[in-house]
Structure 1
Amino acid sequence: MNLYYFRPQKILFVGFLVLFILSIYLLLGNQFYQQHIIANYKSHHMGINNTKVILLWNEFFDFENWKLPSNLLGPQQFEEWNCPVTNCILTTNRTFLKASHLYNAVVFHAASFYSVLYAKPFVRTPDQLYVFVSQESPATTKHYLGDEKNFYNLTMTYRLDSDIPFPYGYFREKGSHAVVAPNLKPNWLEPVKNYTNEDLLKIIQGKTKTAAWFASNCNTLSSRENLVRDIQMFMDVDVYGKCGNLTCTRYSSECDSFLNKDYKFYFSFENTLCKDYVTEKVYEQMLRNIIPVVFGGANYNKFLPPHSYVDVEQFSSVRSLVDFLEWLGSSPQEYVKYFWWKEHYELTFVQPYCKLCEILNRPGLKEEVHIVKNIEEWWYGNQCRVRSKVFFV
């Protein structure tokens, strides 16, 4: 009877003991994994004391790991990214080091909320860099910047005047791999006037549909939904997503296939008209055999090869835009000339953390470090407009 009476207590005790041992194991295992990254680097490189640790402070939208392979990336990852400097560690784990002020740089994603618990670090060292990051336009900034004067050292955004540019894509020369754009003054080759490509001509001549548009945000500051509505008064536009009546899983092989095969134009319309704001809506189409029709606040020549796209704001009216698209879509020899650039350039992506790692290793970093005095003015001031240059209702 006594054994039976004490058995439940023994089971509970053993259960708590197992949970305690398991928690210790996981804690030490995580620390071991973290130390393994440093130890592995130390065994292959000199100067471990010079390793720079970068903390990604908050979430990148719904991606806790910022779309990165892991929440902890060591110098090996920087080598795989072909960074010129690789002695950096990148993590989203705030407990990787004992305190936030021990990190060489702390990166803040401005387009995501800052939680109440982790709004800002409590302690900061004079030589620690705070980095303002956003690939989205100012309209999507999720927190108040007015109390962040003299807070950031570096900006890492889509804007070309950022300390670390963070565009959605780069164009580089084939062969030399020299990056041409985005750039304030890109050195593009002149478009080949008599360019032709027989294989591409066959694909173009098989296209049966005029234009496609994928959108889920149907009430935008740029009023792109109104622009599409006006265009539809004169030509067919297939609208996929929440803003239309057609469906297709974005990024699926099915979508990629029929866009390449069936459509002549894709509407790469931005949700805001902001300087330098060129998103994946354009770059995704540059990988296909389709001409993007762009609508945004950027000077697209700084981002895309000349004669590779149609810019809505180069036309005085929707009617004149449609007339041009109908002419171009019915002229295969002229249409194919928009792909001349593919024989000279290729689309690629460069990790912005390469540049950040390089900055952290500059010998005169302490003397070079600057403070963004008024991030609110820098981010919002004279960057976006509401009115389009082309008239539509």
Structure 2
Amino acid sequence: MLKKLRWTVGFIFLILCIILLRQYIFDNNHPTRLTKMSYKLKDTEWKIRNKHPDSELDKKISLDKLRYCRHFPCKNKTASKNNNLPLKRKKTILLYNSFWEMKGWQFGVGSEPFKKKKCHYDQCRVTHNRSLLESSDAVLFHITQLGQDKPKIRFPHQRWVFFQMESPVLNANEYKNWNGLFNWTMTYRRDSDIHIRYGAVLPTSETKDMYFYHSSNAIKLNATKKTKPLAWLVSHCYTQGKREKLMKQLQKYTPVDIYGGCSNKNLRCARNTSAHDAQYDCFMMLGQKYKFHFAAENSMCKSYVTEKLFNTLAYGMVPLVYGHEDYSEILPPHSYIDITKFKNAESLATLLTDLHNDDQRYDEYFAWKKNYTAFGYTDSYHLSWCDLCEKLHTDTTPKVYDHIDQWWNEDTDCIDPSDLMKSWNI
């Protein structure tokens, strides 16, 4: 009898061991197992059900060290796919709302874009499917079209991402109701968690293995074939930065050809290609005819530097820059002309005329091309998505923006250009 009891107890113990072992293997190897922790959103009071901690594998994947090139931050090419540590699982990025009706928010859907764009960390996928909310690792919200459409349930493994590409001047949304909800920011500002690049100037040696849609250094410089001094491709005619008033003053002293919706000569670029390529065809044409391009921003907001600057550099013109940015931190020296450094329009026009008539001095503005390459928006935008994927795999640091309405604010981000206007007699 005692022997039979011992056998029964031993059998039960063996069954329990098998069950526990099976559960352990499932927990640590199942690629789609989700954290069972959720938040009910009601006036930022979240109710926690329970929590399953991340595996040790996430802790072993270290963030690539950043090293900075002289004029632009460059990633160390050591990447997850080149080391011996496998990624835990593919990360899901949910695009929660619309980004001007563009599928994949100009990047693409699924996992293929990360591989096609040669992201160092490519184990991510993008989706518009809200039914995947629970399994999503990042939930992106396009701020301009945000409204008050919050998800009703939030899961702790998720990062909610504030996504914005326009300046606060162009977006009048109220963000107080979103305070304490965003974990990361993904904007054009260089202090964002994920920096969206409208363009880039990179050391040529760092770009050989990178994906680029358009050919770099598109224009073979020949100043003698450029017969016209200054062009301006523009669509917003009246702006917070009052660039149109600067242009009106400048036109008194130098000829300017204005293309686009604000042209007084009905000048248009030929658009024989898709909209995706149209602006590059236009810049190609401008780069063949003009020596300078008026690359002034529409808003005087911190770090707001858009594709017009980088396209100007990429297509062989010298940009006249105007914005709330320290351009010496993002561009090679002697590659641009800063409008704010001139006391009036006449002094700027004098320099442009002198350079237009002296090819040797003009060519000095392109000495940077010996070591650097400029890329426009299409060739740089994907880098932010590569960074997002990498960050999802490597950054486990807790973070929340308690006052996103203060972090993203016209009053603190943007400046009034009145002082410059006065010096230019505007």
Q: Name the TM-score, length of structure 1 as normaliser.
A: 0.75
Look up the match of 1:20: none
Look up the match of 2:146: 114
Q: Which of 120, 124, 148 is residue 154 of structure 2 equivalent to?
A: 124
SS in structure 2 opposite 1:89?
Answer: strand
Greater CA deviation, 316-325 or 347-356? 347-356
C-alpha deviation, 1:206, in angstroms: 2.2
The one-letter code of the counterpart of 2:123 is: N
The one-letter code of the counterpart of 2:328 is: N
Match runs of 1:91-110 below 5 Å: 91-95=127-131, 97=132, 100-110=133-143
Q: Does structure 1 conserve the Cα–Cα contact (< 8 Å) formed by 2:185 and 2:193?
A: yes
Question: Aligned pair 1:138/2:152, yes or no?
Answer: no
SS in structure 2 opposite 1:298?
Answer: coil
Look up the match of 1:312: 339
Deviations 1:190-248 (A, max 9, x none): xxxxxxxxx73xx2122221211111211100011111111111111111122113222
The one-letter code of the counterpart of 1:56 is: L
Distance 1:143 1:173 in 2: 38
Question: For residues 389 and 266 of structure 1, do their structure 2 counterparts lie closer, same or farther at Cα, with a shift above 3 Å needed?
Answer: farther
C-alpha deviation, 1:178, in angstroms: 9.7
Q: Which of 301, 304, 308 is residue 281 of structure 1 equivalent to?
A: 308
Gaps of 5+ in 2: 1-31, 33-83, 210-219, 272-277
Distance 2:226 2:253 in 1: 19
Distance 1:49 1:303 in 2: 35
C-alpha deviation, 1:275, in angstroms: 1.4
Match runs of 1:71-90 below 5 Å: 72-74=109-111, 76-90=112-126
Question: Aligned pair 1:217/2:246, yes or no?
Answer: no
Q: Does structure 2 conserve the Cα–Cα contact (< 8 Å) formed by 1:313 and 1:388?
A: no
Look up the match of 2:251: 232
Match runs of 1:45-56 below 5 Å: 50-56=89-95
Question: For residues 309 and 48 of structure 1, do their structure 2 counterparts lie closer, same or farther at Cα, with a shift above 3 Å needed?
Answer: closer
Look up the match of 1:242: 261
Look up the match of 1:386: 416
Look up the match of 2:102: 63
Look up the match of 1:376: 405
C-alpha deviation, 1:253, in angstroms: 6.8
SS in structure 2 opposite 1:293?
Answer: strand
SS in structure 1 opposite 2:145?
Answer: coil
C-alpha deviation, 1:334, in angstroms: 0.5
Question: For residues 257 and 148 of structure 1, do their structure 2 counterparts lie closer, same or farther at Cα, with a shift above 3 Å needed?
Answer: closer
SS in structure 2 opposite 1:130?
Answer: strand
The one-letter code of the counterpart of 2:163 is: V
How many aligned residue pairs are there? 317
SS in structure 2 opposite 1:313?
Answer: helix
Question: For residues 225 and 80 of structure 1, do their structure 2 counterparts lie closer, same or farther at Cα, with a shift above 3 Å needed?
Answer: same
SS in structure 2 opposite 1:244?
Answer: coil
SS in structure 1 opposite 2:176?
Answer: coil
Look up the match of 1:21: none
Deviations 1:45-77 (A, max 9, x none): 9978622111011222242331134xx311x43
Distance 1:78 1:254 in 2: 26
SS in structure 1 opposite 2:198?
Answer: coil
SS in structure 2 opposite 1:210?
Answer: strand
C-alpha deviation, 1:344, in angstroms: 0.3
Distance 1:264 1:47 in 2: 50
C-alpha deviation, 1:331, in angstroms: 1.2
The one-letter code of the counterpart of 1:171 is: V
Q: Does structure 2 conserve the Cα–Cα contact (< 8 Å) formed by 1:107 and 1:132?
A: yes
Greater CA deviation, 206-215 or 244-253? 244-253
Look up the match of 2:318: 291
The one-letter code of the counterpart of 1:248 is: C
Distance 2:188 2:96 in 1: 19
SS in structure 2 opposite 1:175?
Answer: helix
Q: Which of 191, 196, 202 is residue 172 of structure 1 equivalent to?
A: 202
C-alpha deviation, 1:84, in angstroms: 2.2
Q: Name the TM-score, length of structure 2 as normaliser.
A: 0.69
Q: Does structure 1 conserve the Cα–Cα contact (< 8 Å) formed by 2:283 and 2:312?
A: no
